[in-house]
Amino acid sequence: MCQAYEAEYSFIVTYERINTTLGFFAAADGKPITTNPNPWDKYYKDAWDHGWRCFGERLLPWSIESRLKYSERIKSREYFQRTGKISAAIKKLR
């Protein structure tokens, strides 16, 4: 029984990370927040919206930062905060 809960938890966390990342890149592409593909599920809608808002506030969501090497993480975060542009390391994550 416990394994089923762990699998469900893992699925939810993974899907949240995916939606946060997709929302971030949607904002980077200039798509409006109303294009969220998850209006049917509040949890996933909120994750996508969070990623979208992070772009506007010049914050890298953890779903992106955690996929970068430590040295790239710092450089990419500072570059994005300073310029509002996505580094080449982040572009590779698409």
Q: Whole-model pTM? A: 0.89
- Percentage with pLDDT > 70 across the chain: 96
Q: Per-domain residue ranges for the chain? A: 2-91
Confidence of residue 82 (pLDDT cuts 50, 70, 90): very high
Neighbours of 80 (CB within 10 A): 20
Q: pLDDT tens digit string along 25-37?
A: 999 999 999 999 9
- Which of 15, 38, 77, 81 shows the shortest CA–CA distance to 90? 77
Q: Give the pLDDT confidence score for residue 48 in this predicted structure.
A: 95
- Which of 47, 87, 49, 92 shows the shortest CA–CA distance to 67? 92
